[in-house]
A = this chain, B = another copy of it.
Amino acid sequence: MNFPSKLIENAVEELAKLPGVGRKTALRLALHLLKHESEDTLSLAEALVKMRTEVKHCKECHNISDTEICSICANPLRDRSLLCIVSDIRDVIAIENTSQYKGLYHVLGGVISPIEGVGPSDLHIDSLLERLPNSEVREILLAISPTMEGDTTAFYLTRKLRDFNLRITTIARGVPVGGELEYTDEVTLGRSIVERTAYGKI
């Protein structure tokens, strides 16, 4: 693609480095910015730079945070006996949005994936094992996606956590709320029958 301006070409090339943004989309974004007030572009650029340079990772749980200790770890109302292990910051946001979890988190920063060259030492597993002895944690909730890599990571963790005398749980697998039985895959449906729960109060 030939651009009539080097400045635009530069901006398009930078935007096209973002995931899911090709050169056509990048051009559309650049022209959108050109059409609107320059303050909009300045505040976008400032927000990005501020985020990238000032955001911290919580020393306790490795969640992103504006402070040394994140707002969840610092919150005295959270249940310190329950620790949820997730692979990614996005999982923390997803679980927080349910408002159903009141414990603490530990963000691994990925999953074990030999194909991508990610081993246990690349994840925040050491800091988890250091954190546990001096903590009030009684239960570990493994909330890791049930993929091949996720299951490997969960299995590795359960082996490492064996000696800590903790209750280890995992998020329930089953038919999604609102999901049709007919269209549920066999493994999920099978597991939802084996791990059936009490019907609840009537």
Contacts and interface: CB of A to CB of B under 8 A. Distances in A.
A42 B177 CA distance: 43
Given A2-B97, A14-B43, A7 B38 contact: no
Given A48-B14, A92-B4, A53 B31 contact: no
A137 to B, nearest CB: 20
A1 B30 CA distance: 27
B45 A8 contact: no
Interface string A137-165: 00000000000000000000000000000
Interface string A54-84: 1100000001111000111000000000000
A32 interface: yes
A34 interface: yes
Contacts of A47: 7, 10-11, 13-15
A41 interface: yes
A27 interface: yes
Contacts of A53: 38, 41
B48 A44 contact: yes
Interface string A81-98: 000000001101100110
The main secondary structure of chain A at its interface with chain B is helix
Interface stretch (A17-25, A112-120, A127-135, A167-175): A17-25
A90 B41 contact: no
A126 interface: no
A44 B14 contact: yes
A54 to B, nearest CB: 6
A146 to B, nearest CB: 21
Nearest first, the 6 closest Cβ-Cβ pairs linking A and B are A45-B45, A41-B52, A11-B51, A14-B47, A14-B44, A7-B51
